[in-house]
Structure 1
Amino acid sequence: MISSDSPTGPEQRIGSERLIARLRSALGEKAVVTDPDVLDSHRNDEATFCAAGVPAVLVRPGSTAEVAEVLRAAGEYGVPVVTQGARTGLSGAANAIDGCILLSTARMNKVLEISAEDQVAVVQPGVVNADLSHAVGEAGLFYPPDPSSWEMSTVGGNIATNAGGLCCVKYGVTGDFVRGLEVVLASGEVVRTGRRTVKGVAGYDLTRLIVGSEGTLGVVTEATLALLPAPEAALTAAATFLSIEDGIAAAAAVMASGLRPSLLEFLDGPTARAIQNYRDMGLPADVGSLLLAQSDRGPRAAEDVAAIAAICTAHGAVEVAEASDAEESAMLLEARRLVHAALEPLGTTLIDDVAVPRSRLVALLHGIAEIGAKYDVLICCPGHVGDGNMHPTVVFDRDDPAAEARALEAFGAVMNLGLALGGTITGEHGIGKLKRQWLEAELGPVGLRLQREIKSVFDPAGLLNPDKVFL
């Protein structure tokens, strides 16, 4: 609960009152919220261990013009702006800072156009990923990016973090489908980046620059997204192994075989056992790893699944299940979808998302086990094995300060391990507040300086999400 008498000086209070009056004049009474309870409920995203400040106001603009008015007002009063979508992020990128304007894109939730001829959709940032997928599906088209939060997360938030998902192994991440953007800059100016066409190399690629920038360069108010023809029916295979090595070797063999699975997911032994304890999935007590693969090639899917099953058997799978229809496929995939629910009863979770080259996955998983032993915490590791993006999840008792301290050290050790193996500290969740202290280790001092200089070009006063990404 935010206190209604937060300490502020007279000048700051008068300035805040004038700012709010200006915002109400531009957006209307209902779009400007100062109720302390509402502000409190919008202070943070889903990340743990990321501080959140006390915002001055929450605004819900309904158009690009209104977003521009908000940013112009913020500039005049020198007030920072934190843009929020559905607040399902896991890095603290949407967390409030003291005295800021929270800019919610929730009202900007229209699918403006779906073109079967151009195979594009034009959408506002507040459109929920699942709603977009259903809408384009009715037109016989497909929008592949599908983060785990797809039924809640918004396209704008997906763009802000360049979100991935289960289908990345075949189709790629959000940025691979963003053709163009409409963006409001800190100055209130509106710029269009990219284009509707498939090809285009006129000037620097500002679209790619905005994607993944976590609200630090501008506010996305419209996106032109590439679509694909709807995929054919999919079938799934699930294989159980006694070791991590066998499961990873099977995944590598699947990727090297020429097959293009539409999904290739991995669960290590601790994760698989947590799922089995949560719900009986018939997994053996000595399970070392579980591999889930899917083909969406319709009549050829059964052939693909059989080939994947044969590869898994050749690499030591003790059990392989092949789905014969959509219902069986959904049952096999249930283990992957139960991960978060299964880990929740074990304690507080701190979710990482390091990515490494596939050739270094075994080293990553062995290193994670060593880190867990060193810091005396449980680390479970599900992930998108097809593209090397794993989600080591530290599980601990938050009521135990010593356990919490060890968990935070283990979290950092996992990121250092990922970098040492030639990987990245974030494959799809972003930097936000959670990972700022490790950014220079990945980018190097020159790379970090260039990124700061780019930020200053877009946002000279440093008002857009100022405490995120960079320390």
Structure 2
Amino acid sequence: MTTLSKDAPPLDDLAAQLPPGVLLREADAVEKYRRDWTRSEAAGMPVAVVRAETAEHVQTAVRWAAAHAVPIVPRGAGSGLSGGSCSVDGCLVVSTERMRTIEIDVPTRTAVVLPGALNVEVKRAAAEHGLWYPPDPSSFEICSIGGNVATNAGGLCCVKYGVTTDYVLGLDVVLADGSLVRLGGPRIKDVAGLSLLKLFVGSEGTLGIVTRAVLRLVPAQPPVATLVATFATVEAAAASVVAIGASTRASMMELMDQASVNAVEDHLPMGLDRSAGALLIAQSDSPGAARTAEIELMQRECEAHGATECFVTDDPQEGEMFAAARRAAFPAIERRGALMLEDVGVPVPLLPELLTGIAAIAERLDVEIPTVAHAGDGNTHPIIVYPRGDEAARERAAAAFAEVMHLAIGLGGTITGEHGIGRLKRDALPLQLGDDVMALTHRIKAALDPQGILNPGAGF
């Protein structure tokens, strides 16, 4: 069994303050905590991993790191897509994977959740009481609530129901000096003091480590009707999205281009139309006759914008099959090669222009960019694919990665709608925010983390 360098900080001191099994020091075990889903080759080697079981363990780890000026990389399930939980050399990884408790309070319609609980586990716990936790990233079965809060995760339902921040009522956060603050609580309305709660949602572990969340729940989602429309081009599908959004509010509006459809069919055959230029998957969960009317309106708009085929179903299993196909896109495309994952968004009326621009970048730089999208809110996921081990192709992919972000900014959009900045998009952030906002951001960071030990290199 290999151990880490003897030049590492005094880990025996940290080990003495934690229960057996909480601190990992063996290199083979620590290796498993170096990277998130991006598989970044730039990830460094931690000195150790604290697999915290309580908020007190997190506080102990942070105080030790602060005393020895050791950088900290917080980590949840490791499913992040922007490198935000990839390690840096010499860091202490603080993993919350063991903090999994979920308590449902029916009278207040809230869930008190520790950060290691998976999104799907919260959904299931809520469903036992006829309640629903709407935020639903495509990785909802494997991503943790702590990671969702850190990146302000969205998902397939966010077009109607919003993103993580809309459901966070309270947080316990361990700050850079090891102190713990409790923000918010099980209250729907609360404007007492500055909105510090929202400051930590989406901060990617750069301002503090979440150790407890109070989440808002809503009544169970009504039955849904599903429309699947086939188009010759992504531009036609996107034009339909714009038209539908002007007159109704779908509960889901997802787009898959031809390359992503074929990747899913190769990976998990579902009978999708491989010849389609684009597939639009829309749902309505409005009550009763309104649901039928919304689906009919969506179908009319799709047909008016050139849909070659429309399929409608009220069967929940059929509807979920199409949603599952959309969720399978990332792992399916990963089978085709190494990936650089984008998360750019624009105002919905500019969605067709964004998709056209992405296709032009792919053609000019000779790279493959399958694209899926939470089309209803203008959030797209262009996925740049290149052969593993081909350095020239990797350089073209990196150029495309940068150009897609510049394209989104030029259209008045954003370089990330839900995955976060992480380490992969840090260089592009000033282009979107500008010097004044970046300076303010750094002032906030310096005030809360004067040593700069919390997730250095991530976010900004």
Aligned match of 2:139 in 140, 149, 154? 149
Deviations along 1:192-219, one digit per CA (max 9) or x if unpaired, are 1223211111221111110011111011
Contact in 2 for aligned 1:231/1:297 (Cα 8 Å): no
**Which residue does the alignment assign to 1:45?**
36
Q: Counterpart of 2:81?
A: 90
Identical amino acids, percent of aligned pairs: 43
Structure 1, 273-282 or 72-81: larger mean CA deviation: 273-282
2:227 is paired with a residue whose SS is: strand
CA contact (8 A) 1:309 1:320 kept: yes
- 1:51-450 equivalences under 5 Å are 51-111=42-102, 113-258=103-248, 260-276=249-265, 279=269, 281-283=271-273, 285=275, 287-297=276-286, 299-300=288-289, 301-450=291-440
* CA distance in structure 2 between the aligned counterparts of 1:453 and 1:151, rounded to whole angstroms: 36
Does the C-alpha gap of structure 1 residues 49 and 37 become closer, same or farther in structure 2, counting only changes over 3 Å?
Answer: closer
1:25 to 16, 22, 45: 16
**260-269 or 412-421, larger mean C-alpha shift:** 260-269
Query: Offset at 1:3?
Result: 6.6
Could you tell me which amino acid in structure 2 is paired with residue 293 of structure 1?
Answer: A
SS in 2 for 1:383: strand
Q: Matched residues in 2 for 1:100 and 1:150: separation? A: 28
Q: TM-score, normalised by structure 1?
A: 0.93
- How far apart in 1 are the matches of 2:231 and 2:216? 38
Is the deviation greater in 114-123 or in 157-166? 114-123
Cα-to-partner distance string for 1:317-360 (whole Å, 9 max, x where unaligned): 11000013112212333431332344234322211000101111
| Partner-residue secondary structure (3-state), 2:74 | strand
Whether the 8 Å CA contact 1:48–1:350 is kept in 2: the answer is no
CA 1:298–1:325 in structure 2 vs 1: closer, same or farther (change >3 Å)?
A: farther
CA contact (8 A) 2:82 2:341 kept: no
Aligned-partner SS, 1:45: coil
Deviations 1:216-267 (Å, cap 9, x if unpaired)? Answer: 1011111111111111112211000112232112111211123x21110011
- Residue 276 of structure 1 and its aligned partner are, at CA, apart by 4.6
User: 1 CA distance for matches of 2:173 and 2:331?
Assistant: 37
- Aligned counterpart, 2:453: 463
Check the 8 A contact 1:194/1:205 in 2, yes or no: no
> How far is 1:277 from its partner?
5.2
- Rate the CA distance shift 1:302–1:122 in 2: closer, same or farther, 3 A: same
User: C-alpha root-mean-square deviation of aligned residues, in Å?
Assistant: 1.7
Contact 1:78 1:463 in 2 (8 A): yes
How far apart in 1 are the matches of 2:283 and 2:30? 43
Secondary structure of the residue aligned to 1:392 is strand
| Contact 1:27 1:61 survives alignment (8 Å) | no
Q: 1:305 corresponds to which letter in structure 2?
A: I
Segments of 5+ residues of structure 1 without an aligned counterpart are none
Q: Which amino acid in structure 1 is aligned with residue 106 of structure 2?
A: A
SS at match of 2:21: helix
Evaluate the alpha carbon distance shift between residue 282 and residue 105 of structure 1 in structure 2; reply closer, same or farther with a 3 A threshold.
Answer: closer
**Which residue identity does 2:255 align to in structure 1?**
F
What residue number does 2:26 align with?
Answer: 35
Instruction: Flag the 1:47–1:108 CA change in 2: closer, same or farther, 3 A.
Output: same
Unaligned runs of 5+ in 2: none
What secondary structure does 2:85 align onto? coil
Q: Distance in 2 between matches of 1:421 and 1:50?
A: 31
* CA deviation map 1:401-445 (0-9, x unaligned): 111110110111000000000001001111111011101111111
What TM-score results when the alignment is normalised by the length of structure 2?
0.95
Per-residue deviation, 1:29? 2.0
Equivalenced residue count is: 458
SS of 2:434's equivalent in the other structure is helix
Corresponding letter in the other structure for 1:135:
A
> Counterparts of 2:425 and 2:114 in 1: how far apart (Å)?
28
Q: Give 3-state SS (helix, strand or coil) of 2:288's partner.
A: helix
Assess if the C-alpha contact under 8 Å between 1:302 and 1:324 holds in 2.
no
What is the CA deviation profile of residues 369-403 of structure 1, one whole-angstrom value per residue up to 9, with x for unaligned ones? 11111110111111100000000111111221111
Verify the 8 A CA contact 1:323 1:332 in the aligned structure 2: no
User: Residues 331 and 223 of structure 1: is their aligned pair in 2 closer, same or farther, counting only changes over 3 Å?
Assistant: closer
